[in-house]
Chains A and B, each alone.
Chain A
Amino acid sequence: MKPSAFAYARPRALEEAFALLDKHGENAKLLAGGQSLLASLNMRLAAPEILVDIGAIPGLDGIAVRGQTLVIGARTTHRAIERSEAVAKHAPLLAQAAPHIAHVAIRNAGTLGGSLAMADPAAEWPACCVALQATIVVTSKKGERRVAATDFFKDLYTTALGAGELITAVEIPCVEKGERHAFLELVRRRGDYAIVGLAARARLKGKTLSGVQLVYLGVGVTPVQAKGAMAALEGKTADDAAIRAAQDAIARDLEPNADIYTSAEAKRHLARVLVARAVAALVG
């Protein structure tokens, strides 16, 4: 369908964007790549009075390494992340996850910050940011604040972003020696939202896992850390017994909701399948 009518502004500086957000409050929506927003406007799930297009504000995209931190501008596209050598080197989980996001034509436009602000529970970047213990840089006219990704996703499509705030960058600790990553998704068709997905990360010494992060997508209203399964693997040798213990813990960690295609029990089963595959990938 066609969206309902809205006004449009294309500020050239952050200050102008903040003024527009101030003036229009909840009637304004920020437009970055638009790959989720325009779909929801087209389906008339949202009808803002004004779109504030942040596409012309300088300094919001790009990928840089500062010390031991990878800094990715909020407006950096999925495709730029997918193609980045710095990302492949310093945050390989993101490089693994990027090709799972929709399709090339969408990855060419959709942005990291847009995906985080949208906070779709089946989206890839929110789970990756939690698994990588990333920091979301949030800016408003009052200045900058930093929110841990683990505190950022509050509820279904709901984040820690307050009125007048926008995401300007994401800071990710650079991968350390011995750290392994795996990103896995189960989908019916390539490019679909995941039925269940898993962003996994651990340090590996010999076959012993530590610093284990297992963050699921598609099983709750936000990205879900499977804390019982993480604990079951922590400090353990990655063998069949440890994998079984992690799979048993998944049953307690996750309370997936059925969607129109997949029952809660099927999702829980698939989550158990993924944790086994993830451990195999981490030690492989």
Chain B
Amino acid sequence: MEDRVEATITVNGTRLTRRIEPRMHLIDFLREELGLTGSHVSCEHGVCGACTVRVDGEIRRGCLTLAVQADGRTVDTVEGLSDSGELAVLQQAFHERNALQCGYCTPGMLLTAQALIKEHPEATREEIREFMSGNLCRCTGYQAIIDAIETVLRTPRTEGVR
């Protein structure tokens, strides 16, 4: 009964067509079928945010999205957004503020933080906390992560980075 379904998805700018098992999560498709292991899998029920990716420009839970649901859509992962330079300023700030330790949550943190930077560049520290509340970190703790995001928001925009 679980016949594979054909889906055409544009991943990090590359359009590809695959036959996909319906029950496969988007995050597993990206990691296991395409080898894009930058986005991580953790809770698998939408709580932790480690699997955050972009679908049609908006952040999503990769574990609460079926790969077949991405048919006809654009998916961006931390790999694509790193290569394009979109995340460069944020990544630098994470580095400087020591906002990661084991790094497991970091790809999801970066994608969520980048959504915040685009949508609410004027966000207060409290609003940053609120926006980031769906991404869990188990080692660095949150202060350094919030510090890094706040640094980016408070730094005058440099040409060509966003």
Contact = CB atoms under 8 A, between A and B. Distances in A.
Contact of A4 (B5, B23, B59, B135): B23
A44 to B, nearest CB: 11
A3 B23 contact: yes
A34 B66 contact: yes
B68 interface: yes
A172 interface: no
A6 to B, nearest CB: 6
A51 interface: yes
A211 interface: no
A5 interface: yes
Most buried by B among A31, A38, A189, A190: A38
Given A8-B66, A39-B64, A103-B49, 10 more contacts: A2-B44, A10-B71, A34-B64, A34-B66, A38-B25, A39-B45, A39-B46, A43-B45, A103-B135, A105-B112
B33 interface: no
Given A106-B46, A109-B64, A190-B130, A6 B69 contact: no
A105 B2 contact: no
B96 interface: no
Interface string A1-35: 11111111010000000000000000000010011
Interface in B51-109: 52, 55, 58-61, 63-66, 68-69, 71
A109 B60 CA distance: 7
Nearest to B41: A2
Given A8-B68, A104-B131, A106-B46, A2 B23 contact: yes
Contacts of B28: 2
A26 to B, nearest CB: 15
Nearest to A50: B1
Given A8-B66, A35-B64, A104 B59 contact: yes
Nearest to A109: B60
A106 B134 contact: yes
Contacts of A104: 59, 112, 115, 131, 134
Interface of B: 1-3, 5, 21-23, 25, 28, 44-46, 49, 52, 55, 58-61, 63-66, 68-69, 71, 112, 115, 129-131, 133-135
B137 to A, nearest CB: 13
A50 to B, nearest CB: 8
A246 B4 CA distance: 57
A34 B44 CA distance: 13
Most buried by A among B28, B55, B69, B71: B69
Interface of A: 1-8, 10, 31, 34-35, 38-39, 41-43, 49-51, 53, 55, 79, 102-106, 108-109, 189-191
Contact of B133 (A5, A109, A191): A191
Contact of B60 (A1, A2, A5, A108): A108
B144 to A, nearest CB: 19
A105 B23 contact: no
Contact of B1 (A7, A34, A42, A105): A7
A187 to B, nearest CB: 10
A2 B25 contact: yes
A35 B46 contact: yes
Contacts of A6: 1-2, 22-23
A5 B69 contact: no
Nearest to B129: A190
Across the A-B interface, give the 3 residue pairs with the lowest CB-CB distance, nearest first: A103-B134, A8-B22, A5-B2
A10 B72 CA distance: 12
Nearest to B2: A5
20 contacts: A2-B28, A5-B22, A6-B22, A35-B46, A38-B65, A39-B46, A39-B64, A42-B25, A42-B63, A49-B1, A103-B133, A104-B115, A106-B61, A106-B64, A108-B58, A108-B59, A108-B60, A109-B55, A189-B133, A191-B133
B87 to A, nearest CB: 16
Given A7-B2, A7-B3, A189-B133, A38 B66 contact: yes
B41 to A, nearest CB: 10
